[in-house]
Amino acid sequence: MEIPYTVEPRPDTGLANGKLGIWLFLASEVMLFGALFSTYILLRVGAIEWPHGELSVKLGAINTVILICSSVTMVVAWAKLKLNDFAKGRLYVLVTVVLAAVFLVNKYFEYAEHLAKGEGPWHSTFFAIYFTLTGLHGLHIVGGIVVMLYLAGPGAGMWKSNPEQYANRVEYTGLYWHFVDLVWIFLFPVLYLL
Amino acid sequence: MEKTVTGTAHEHGHAHDHAHEELGFWRKYVFSVDHKVIGIQYAITGLLFLLFGFCLMMLMRFQLAYPLHPIPIIGSWFGDAKAPMGIMLPEFYNQLGAMHGTIMVFLGVVPLAVGGFGNFVMPLQIGAPDMAFPKINMMSYWVYFLGGVTMLASFFVPNGAAQSGWTSYPPLSVIAQGGGQTMWLIGMVFLITSSLLGSINFIVTIVQLRAKGLSYMRLPFFVWAQLVTSFLLLLAFPPLEAAGVLQLMDRLAGTSFFLPSGLVVSQKPLTVAGGGNPILWQHLFWFLAHPEVYVLILPAMGIVSEIIANNTRKPLWGYRALVYAIVFLGFMSFIVWAHHMFMTGMGTNISAFFQVTTMIISIPSVVILTALLLSLWGASIRFTTPMLFALAFLPMFGIGGLTGLPLGLAPSDIHLHDTYYVIGHFHYVVAPGTIFALFAGVYYWFPKATGRKMNELMGKIHFWGSFICINCVFMPMFIQGLGGMNRRMYDGGMQYAHNAGLLKWNLMIGFAAWGLGLFQIPFIINFFASIKWGALVDRNPWEATTLEWSAPSPPGHGNFLTEPIVYRGAYEYSVPGAAKDFTPQFEPERA
């Protein structure tokens, strides 16, 4: 038995199953982060005073640049696969993984600095929402790394059996990755600058 | 439309795919990727949880009928921490209450209505070989299973299961001692993840895998109900996931998202940073939990529509109106949540807004109920067991819906809030409403799943007994609630003077509840006995029109023997001039 439209799009909807699936998943992710951003707004509006300048803008800005670069490398990886260049495609997926890892290392230094000063999530509602939002975002980064390592490693065999489906998988992972990037682009000003 | 849907599905040539490879026991029945097996797994697990949740309620009902009496026979099973000498402690009563709600909603009704019926019936009704993502489908069941195990295990940790109500309002839930509440939150994260995986799968399947010729306006109404339900699950559950994460942070990482400054617990100020907001939880919780109400009721409406059309031998009255109403209902269900929060002091302007949206959302509900009622007009009805349950759904849901109106208006809600009236109202919607529809569905699709029919006589005993008992359970609650009896008192509120004349009803409710339990026995026997000894039936025992009846009973892996093609709408019953009183969707036009 074969499920129709796993690779090629259905003519009347113009979509393959996986692409519709990943967009629906992202819609639910918007609701998840939307609820947390709403929480941020409500806590901040209700607070007597809200701390400013607690976070390192420099580290945050570096991480923003890293994530934007990683989104670009992800698109390049997909484009290379579409041009039938598997070696380059896989290379760019791995570059994306490296950039994501650098982001997490930066995040680790940031967390360690605050925890050393006793500014853990228990310290104030600001640090509570900071750790929750960036922690959940960090988990999404980790999830992305796992998927990309799978695509570059054990999952790469699919390029031989079904190259179109493999390129699709990289594309869907890319859509997810852009979303993770986009969340950070909201997080950076909201937590570091405002 | 027919021309545009000609996809490449038929080019794969389903006919030669049906050489079923034999799978081992574990891959065939346990870790199966077949939507029918997963649907049956969901349905049976859901039915077991319904029974378990019902048993929790019978314990509570004994406590209310005979406050401070030892529970007979089984009282000694619970141990001194829960019921010393067999007499229930208030803490145990609270655990039963919280877990009854959680189990019935998240582990019983939704898995049965969406995971069970949705999984089993929907792909068959749209002519698909399986769900769009079979492995994700399997994962969705097992994540749900883990969530269920977590919830059940929480009864055995120190201090027992969660006891802050199924709504888990902070600050009570955050400061609750023991691991029960933490396990509740972790269990909820599992259940939410499972729903999320399921809902993505459902939407993609309905959009992508419809058979050739099956346009949206030819979909059976049940499929529409599942589509709207899936959107509600997809978009409403994530905020509760966020809320669950925040409450976990409050309990484990010492944050104060839901803890205000200056909170005093047991005469001691709480040593937390403060600055949080307990009302925030209520907003996030009800943003899920109101759409959840429609997740409970929409699949039930879908099931009832199928059965009514089939047993009246008439097309559904106003199919298009039903479709538009259910889509509008789904949309509106996202902007009514704060009608659960009139008593929080959130302000009259906000209350006014949510009153208006609440009154608006009653319109599509009434449209659906009216269309189903008018479908009966002039029909020569077949009173089969599924039809009896489906017919009972209409007035039961009607009572549940109409008694909701005074709760949706702030002035009357102030009097009725947190009384037994509320319990009566939402149980009329969910218990004799949804659960009756689910029973109807079990009797109706049982022949498709097993190739055998369930026994009609035992079905009728089950129906009439349940119908009478369940009304004796919930109708007196309106009287108690209008009299002001509070819903959360573990002895029913004996110390309050205004309850004096109302407590006597608890005895009647108790006996009706135990009677209801007894009348489920014919169903359980019938269910298992019919698998083995039920009357053998062919593909289409009810002479129905929708696609699932063109597949063998039970359908093999891949469902259909030839690629199904749809030629007409879903409910072409009693077409003038036709030879039979039903013209199936899959029957080609005659030249």
* Domains of chain B (ranges, CATH numbers): 27-259+274-550 (1.20.210.10)
The single-letter code of the amino acid at A152 is A
**Which residues of chain A lie closer than 8 angstroms to B200, CB-CB?**
21, 24-25, 28
Q: Do A128 and B208 touch (CB under 8 A)?
A: no
Residue A126 included in any domain: yes
CB–CB of B212/B150 below 8 Å?
no
At residue B423's C-alpha, the angle toward residues B417 and B429, to 5°, is 120
Which residue of A2, A3, A44 is the best one to mutate when testing the B interface, meaning the one whose CB has the most B CBs within 10 A?
A: A3
Q: Give the residue from B458, B461, B437 showing the smallest Cα distance to B530.
A: B458
Percent of chain B with pLDDT over 90: 91
| pLDDT(B16) > 50 | no
Query: B255 to chain A, minimum CA–CA distance in Å?
Result: 4
Please report the pLDDT score of residue B25 as a whole number: 87
Could you tell me the pLDDT band of residue B21, with boundaries at 50, 70 and 90? low
CB–CB of B64/B506 below 8 Å?
yes
Q: Which token pair is A153?
A: 């490693």
Residue A2 included in any domain: no
User: pLDDT of B120-143, one tens digit each?
Assistant: 999 999 999 999 999 999 999 999
Residue A105 included in any domain: yes
Q: Nearest Cβ partner of A28 from B238, B249, B280?
A: B238
Q: Do B280 and A43 touch (CB under 8 A)?
A: yes
Q: Give the residue from B559, B571, B434 showing the smallest Cα distance to B39.
A: B559
Please report the pLDDT score of residue B15 as a whole number: 40
Query: A40 to chain B, minimum CA–CA distance in Å?
Result: 10
Q: Do B235 and A28 touch (CB under 8 A)?
A: yes
Q: Spell out the SS3 assignment of B524-552.
A: HHHHHHHHHHCEECCCCCCCCCCHHHHCC
Does B271 contact A at CB distance below 8 Å? no
DSSP code per residue over B237-285: HHHHHHHHHHHHHHHHT---SS--TT-EETTEE--S-----HHHHHHHH
Residue A7 included in any domain: no
Which residue of B192, B255, B277 is the best one to mutate when testing the A interface, meaning the one whose CB has the most A CBs within 10 A?
A: B255
Q: Distance between CA B218 and CA B547 in Å, rounded?
A: 11
Does B348 contact A at CB distance below 8 Å? no
Query: B123 to chain A, minimum CA–CA distance in Å?
Result: 12
Residue A6 included in any domain: no
Q: Do A43 and B275 touch (CB under 8 A)?
A: yes
Task: Calculate the average pLDDT of chain B.
Answer: 93
Does A5 contact B at CB distance below 8 Å? yes
Q: Do A128 and B7 touch (CB under 8 A)?
A: no
CA B294 to chain centre: 9
Query: B69 to chain A, minimum CA–CA distance in Å?
Result: 45
Does A20 contact B at CB distance below 8 Å? yes
Query: B191 to chain A, minimum CA–CA distance in Å?
Result: 15
Q: Which domain holds residue A47?
A: 17-193
Q: Do A35 and B287 touch (CB under 8 A)?
A: yes
In degrees rounded to 5, what are phi and psi of residue B166?
-70, -15
User: pLDDT of B390-400, one tens digit each?
Assistant: 999 999 999 99
| pLDDT(B9) > 70 | no
User: pLDDT of B431-490, one tens digit each?
Assistant: 999 999 999 999 999 999 999 999 999 999 999 999 999 999 999 999 999 999 999 999
Q: Do B245 and A2 touch (CB under 8 A)?
A: no
Mean pLDDT of B153-163: 94
Single pTM value for the model: 0.95
Could you tell me the pLDDT band of residue B8, with boundaries at 50, 70 and 90? very low
Q: Do B208 and A28 touch (CB under 8 A)?
A: no
Query: B134 to chain A, minimum CA–CA distance in Å?
Result: 9
Query: B275 to chain A, minimum CA–CA distance in Å?
Result: 6
CB–CB of A11/B4 below 8 Å?
yes
Does A118 contact B at CB distance below 8 Å? no
Mean pLDDT of B545-562: 94
Please report the pLDDT score of residue B23 as a whole number: 80
Question: Could you tell me the CATH number of the domain that includes residue A169?
Answer: 1.20.120.80
**Which residues of chain A lie closer than 8 angstroms to B127, CB-CB?**
none
Mean pLDDT of B2-27: 50
Does B256 contact A at CB distance below 8 Å? yes
Residue A9 included in any domain: no
| pLDDT(B1) > 50 | no
Does A45 contact B at CB distance below 8 Å? no
Q: Nearest Cβ partner of B558 from A1, A10, A11?
A: A1
Q: Do A43 and B277 touch (CB under 8 A)?
A: yes
Query: A137 to chain B, minimum CA–CA distance in Å?
Result: 12
Does A31 contact B at CB distance below 8 Å? yes
Does A49 contact B at CB distance below 8 Å? no
**Which residues of chain A lie closer than 8 angstroms to B12, CB-CB?**
2, 4
Percent of chain A with pLDDT over 70: 100
Mean pLDDT of B81-104: 95
| pLDDT(B11) > 60 | no
Mean pLDDT of B266-286: 93
Q: Give the residue from B208, B125, B226, B213 showing the smallest Cα distance to B547.
A: B125
At residue A115's C-alpha, the angle toward residues B270 and A124, to 5°, is 35
The DSSP H or E segment spanning B453 is strand B452-453
Please report the pLDDT score of residue B61 as a whole number: 96
Please report the pLDDT score of residue A10 as a whole number: 96
Please report the pLDDT score of residue B20 as a whole number: 52
Which residue of A6, A8, A24 is the best one to mutate when testing the B interface, meaning the one whose CB has the most B CBs within 10 A?
A: A24
Does B331 contact A at CB distance below 8 Å? no
User: pLDDT of B71-92, one tens digit each?
Assistant: 999 999 999 999 999 999 999 9
Please report the pLDDT score of residue B540 as a whole number: 96
At residue B250's C-alpha, the angle toward residues B247 and B253, to 5°, is 125
Residue A4 included in any domain: no
Mean pLDDT of B92-100: 96
CB-defined contacts A:B, below 8 A? 148
Judged by average pLDDT, the poorest of A114-118, B346-350, B507-511, B513-517 is B346-350
| pLDDT(B10) > 50 | no
**Which residues of chain A lie closer than 8 angstroms to B239, CB-CB?**
31-32, 34-35
Q: Do B254 and A122 touch (CB under 8 A)?
A: yes
Q: Mention every residue, 6+ apart, whose C-beta is less than 8 A from residue B519.
A: B461, B462, B465, B466, B469
How many Cα atoms are found within 13 Å in the side-chain-facing hemisphere of B485?
26
Alpha-carbon torsion A103, A109, A114, A118, what sign?
Answer: positive
Q: Do B239 and A21 touch (CB under 8 A)?
A: no
Residue A106 included in any domain: yes
Which residue of B14, B17, B204 is the best one to mutate when testing the A interface, meaning the one whose CB has the most A CBs within 10 A?
A: B204
Does B200 contact A at CB distance below 8 Å? yes
Q: Distance between CA B125 and CA B116 in Å, rounded?
A: 14
Domains contained in chain A, number: 1
User: pLDDT of A2-56, one tens digit each?
Assistant: 899 999 999 999 999 999 999 999 999 999 999 999 999 999 999 999 999 999 9
In degrees rounded to 5, what are phi and psi of residue B170?
-80, 165
Q: Give the residue from B516, B510, B584 showing the smallest Cα distance to B547.
A: B584
- Helix boundaries (H) for A83-124: 86-116
